[in-house]
Amino acid sequence: MFCEVSDGVEAVEKAGDLRPELILLDIGLPKLNGIEAARQISQIASYSKILFLGGFDSLEVVEEALNTGANGYVLKLDAVSELIEAVEAVFQGERFISRRLKEEIRRAHPPVFET
């Protein structure tokens, strides 16, 4: 089944009505942004896996999106090469983060070594 919506409010409604296994959610939806839509979807459709598709405006936005309980984040720039891999990973119970984002996260949060 495939369903396309025009905004975040409709995404939440359709998630509750259609009970999808996977929701590919744009971070920049109108009316209700993708992050808030994911929070609401997680409450009404906890069985649905959420995979964000978005740009890289800031690491804080990406981290906030992942903190909604989403199963992954694919950069729009890398969707052609990573989307299938991301969907497969999510269905195997793994969290997927685009390679470019992983590098940014590593730079922003370097490991701390105890001596």
0.95 exceeded by pTM: no
Residue corresponding to tokens 């730079």: 107
Q: For residue 113, what pLDDT is reported?
A: 63
Residues of the chain with pLDDT under 70: 1, 57, 112-115
pLDDT for the residue 114: 55
Domain ranges of the chain: 8-108
**Tokens matching residue 33:** 């942004």
Helix (H) or strand (E) holding 98: none
pLDDT at 109: 76
CATH of 8-108, one of 3.40.50.2300, 2.60.40.10, 3.20.20.70, 3.40.50.620: 3.40.50.2300
Separation in Å, CA 27 to CA 8, 17, 112, 113: 9, 21, 31, 34
Output the six-digit token pair for 97.
Answer: 């983060």
Contact 29, 37 (CB under 8 A): yes
